[in-house]
Amino acid sequence: METRIRQKVKGTMKVIKANKFVSIIAVLGLVLSIQSCGEQPYYDQAHTFEDQSWDKGDTAIFEVNVDDSVKVHDFILSLRTTKEYLYSDLWIYILVTAPDGTTSKVAQKIPLANPDGSWIGKVSGTLVESRLRFDSKAFPIKGKYVFKLLNATQEESIPYVEDISLRIE
């Protein structure tokens, strides 16, 4: 029976086949474009602070296994605070220990609010997410790197801090 229908509407079947082909190409193109735009980060982990408070003794530790010492990566910190956070910025220490044991330490300021008090980051409900790209480079050697983020302020405890993330793209 299918053959008869095709014979009767031969011209129409060609149109239907062409439309299917165009649809398949369109869907394939859409999938490929979404896949390329949604490239996964090389590394993305968060450290959550108990009771929304970053105490002096609480170190956020991130271990990153590196198998490519050529590709340049962007290093991004993401800090989430509540709207009740008291300061316009936050100073942290970033300690990086390379696979060969060498350690580097840098102080980094994360700006959180403008001089008028408005938040710089993205506000969602009661949380404010502030992102900062703090470096862009290749890892010098392959192996395990350990990133330690420490509270560099004079305060023993910084309230209203939800979490801090290290993202490497």
Q: Which pLDDT tens digits describe the chain residue by residue (169 residues)?
A: 444 445 555 555 555 454 554 454 444 444 444 444 568 999 999 999 999 999 999 999 999 999 999 999 999 999 999 999 999 999 999 999 999 999 999 999 999 999 999 999 999 999 999 999 999 999 999 999 999 999 999 999 999 999 999 999 9
Instruction: Report the 3 state secondary structure along the chain.
Output: CHHHHHHHCHHHHHHHHHHHHHHHHHHHHHHHHHHHHCCCCCEEEEEECHHHEEECCCCEEEEEEECCCCCEEEEEEEEEEECCCCCCEEEEEEEEECCCCCEEEEEEEEECECCCCCECCEEECCEEEEEEEEEEEECCCCEEEEEEEEECCCCCEEECEEEEEEEEC
Torsion sign over Cα 146, 152, 158, 163 = negative
Q: What residues does each domain of the chain span?
A: 2-37, 43-168
Fold (CATH) for 43-168: Jelly Rolls (2.60.120)
